[in-house]
Structure 1
């Protein structure tokens, strides 16, 4: 099996599949209303995301702060972003990235 990156018009999925056709079928099974726009076989057996790209810098643990803001905002994304900006001094873009990343991680 190979690791595939499957992009639809709304999501990017990472999944193991036997071949490209199977990877497309995985996306169609889980997101049937979305169009598959790109399928790429990953060159290695791991998927890596840059912490800098997610706004994670230095020794600050933004996940804890973002989760606390989401909790205080009762899941309201816009309110959580505002709280994150107030708590950390982050700009709007950094706060949005931290909150949305934690929401996608299953806050």
Structure 2
């Protein structure tokens, strides 16, 4: 199986699939209300996100508050950021960092 990057109107997914059409089906199955904008076969069998690019310094541990907000927001990053701000009282920058860090850790 190949690794595919599937972009919809609101999400970017990484999924294993046998064909491009099978990758599109993954997006339609999980997010039927969204349009598939792009499907690209990854040249390697791993997906790498630079922690430095995300602003993560040192070892990052999962934040249970951020993960709970992501779960309550059904993975919607902007909604999760708002929930995190409400729950913890942090500012926008810190809430965004916490949510994005936890998304990169495999929420």
Normalised TM-score (structure 2): 0.68
Deviations 1:38-83 (A, max 9, x none): 1000000001011112321135x3x35x43xx28xx8431135644
1:2 and 1:79 map into 2 onto residues whose CA distance is: 40
Shift of 1:100: 4.0
Q: Which runs of 4+ in 1 moved over 6 A?
A: none
Structure index of larger Rg = 1
Per the alignment, residue 38 of structure 2 pairs with: 38
Q: Name the counterpart of 1:21.
A: 21
| Distance in 2 of aligned mates of 1:82 and 1:49 | 28
Question: Structure 2 CA distance, aligned partners of 1:93 and 1:6?
Answer: 27
Q: What is the RMSD of the two structures over their aligned residues, measured on CA atoms?
A: 2.7
Question: Structure 1: 5+ residue runs without aligned partners?
Answer: 86-91
Question: Equivalents in 1 of 2:42, 2:103: separation in Å?
Answer: 25
Contact 2:4–2:42 at 8 Å: present in 1 too? yes
Cα deviation 1:17-58 (Å, max 9, x = unaligned): 111111111111111100000100000000101111232113
Partner SS for 1:28: helix
1:8 equivalenced with 2:11 (yes/no)? no
